[in-house]
Amino acid sequence: MAGNNIKKLTIQSLIRRTGGIVLIMLSILLACILILIGVMLAWSPGKPTPFLDEKGKVLASSISEKIHISINGVEQGMFIKSKNNANPVLLFIHGGPGMPEYFLTQSYPTGLEDYFTVCYWEQRGAGLSYSSDIPAETLTEEQLISDILEVTKYLRKRFGQEKIYLMAHSWGSYIGIQAAARAPEMYYAYIGVAQISQPLESEKLAYKYMMEQYMIAGDKKMVQRLEKFPVTEMDKVPNSYRSLRDEAMHKLGIGTMHDMKSVVTGIFLPSWKFPEYTLSEKVNIWRGKWSAYSINMWNQMIATDLTAKVPELDISVYFFHGIYDYTCSYNLAKDYFEKLQAPLKGFYSFAQSAHSPLFEEPEKMQYILQKDVLAGVNNFADTQ
């Protein structure tokens, strides 16, 4: 009887002790969550940073704003940045699909605002323009091209410019060059950064290169993971391949940037630390990135040969491409450039860059924009 009582007391003591430990652990977890939320909120005031002079006052004639306007019936957001709002206007079309890039300027300033009034428009269904209420039937390639043209009209009217410059990056170059082809009268020039050409062929070249490099490195685990997606034998790229593709490319320095080895540390974490978005806007960046819309746009792009769809432009054309870029093949972009008909064109290779020369080699980019693009010439191009 006494033994049973001792056993009961021991069990009760253990329960009390275990319960106390669990309670402590839950309290610590709750405290960590609250601290994390506090840090995230501190990082997310959501106000654009103004341009200041040497005295700490807002730079005269500068503009730094985050606005939402109605574009083709849907409220869409954009950042407009310039140290002098009388500068020529440049509309930047981000990549993805569904992935804004403006937050990268915190770690990788482009200097574009020194020479242009830059509009970082966030596309329908992406970032500032994300909403679960957007009708699914409007999330199409044709709609996005129409949106580009409407944003262009807004900027021309607002800043009193007859024409503006159009710069498009990666996925943005897929819809951007089509917009330029439809309304060349609204643009001084089209600037394709990591220009898409034949996306499926580009994926096959990238896959082949990655398999070769990981075999040489003896990375059997990555080789086995890639072997599950024999892209070279497919007429399209499976959605389940996209995340692995990003990881594998970045480890080899052929992804977003040549020196960026991880999507997590290079893109994901910086997006959460960028102060000009609110916390909910940051959440929406990633909701848009992995939405069904983004996947559908990816599939539609992969199935298209842009070289056949846009064989000519009636304005000046400039292609900026990193030599390490396998996200959008450097060699295929050069082939497209050679075939593309335009009144003036220039191809510029960036020897230290992969997919994002505007972030990787901003000084060279600025020089070309000043000396060639704004002057309407191609004197510094490696191919004309």
Q: Please give the chain's pLDDT, 384 residues, in tens.
A: 555 555 555 666 655 666 667 666 656 665 655 554 565 556 676 898 999 988 889 999 999 999 999 999 999 999 999 999 999 999 999 998 999 999 999 999 999 999 999 999 999 999 999 998 888 888 899 999 999 999 999 999 999 999 999 999 999 999 999 999 999 999 999 999 999 999 999 999 999 999 999 999 999 999 999 999 988 877 778 878 888 999 999 999 999 999 999 999 999 999 999 999 999 999 999 999 888 788 888 888 998 999 999 999 999 999 999 999 999 999 999 999 999 999 999 999 999 999 999 999 999 999 999 999 999 999 999 977
- State residue 89's pLDDT score: 98
| Residue 330: strand pairing partners | none
Q: Where are the alpha helices (DSSP H) in 218-253?
A: 220-227, 242-252
- Whether 170 and 328 have beta carbons less than 8 Å apart is answered as yes
Q: What is the model's pLDDT at position 15?
A: 57
Tell me the C-alpha to C-alpha distance, in Å, between residue 230 and each of 179, 201, 234. 33, 13, 7
Which residue type, as a one-letter code, is found at position 315?
I
Residue-level pLDDT at 136? 83
Distances (CA, A) of 184 to 188, 366, 371: 8, 24, 22
Q: Is 253 exposed, middle or buried (0-12, 13-18, 19+ CB in 10 A)?
A: middle
In the chain, domain spans: 43-384
Handedness of CA 102, 104, 110, 113 (dihedral sign): positive
Question: Could you tell me the CA-to-CA distances from 77 to 94, 127, 158 in Å, in that order?
Answer: 13, 8, 16
Predicted confidence at residue 46, as pLDDT, reads 80
Output the furthest CA–CA distance in the chain (Å, rounded): 102
User: What CATH architecture does domain 43-384 belong to?
Assistant: 3-Layer(aba) Sandwich (3.40)
Model pTM score: 0.91
What local confidence, expressed as pLDDT, does residue 383 receive? 78
